[in-house]
Amino acid sequence: MTFVDLDSVPAQVLSGNDKASVWVNYGTSENVLYGLNGGFFTTKPSIAAWQEAPRPTRQQCADLISTQGNETLPIADDSRFCVRTAADRLAYLAVKKFDRASGTYLADVTVWETPER
């Protein structure tokens, strides 16, 4: 994971954060996960840390982001996140590990479609 577009099917790794649903800033002491338009131009909190077991439902992720959403969160091996994408879809990221060979995090991702209104 570096810059990831979760609205593409399948999800795509991008070269920049322009259309990224989430992206990682690899810092010197702590790596940080950013949500939509993360950084200086964040529009609203769109990520939240999932700390419960087991994997959340779409509704649990929506509720968590609306009550405990953040613009940035620390990322590490085995961390888990709920994410809101630019297309208003919801996703769950289960970070596996930092891959030293590629210099990126590997994660399992579930993306739910937006329900009909």
Q: Quick: pLDDT tens for 65-99.
A: 999 999 999 999 999 999 999 899 999 999 999 98
Kindly state the tokens that stand for 21.
């649903």
- Sketch the domain layout of the chain as residue ranges: 3-112
- pTM exceeding the 0.75 threshold for the entire prediction: yes
pLDDT tens per residue across span 12-60: 888 887 788 998 988 767 899 989 875 555 567 899 999 998 999 999 9
Number of H helices, E strands in the chain: 1, 9
Q: Sign of torsion, CA 92 68 89 86?
A: negative
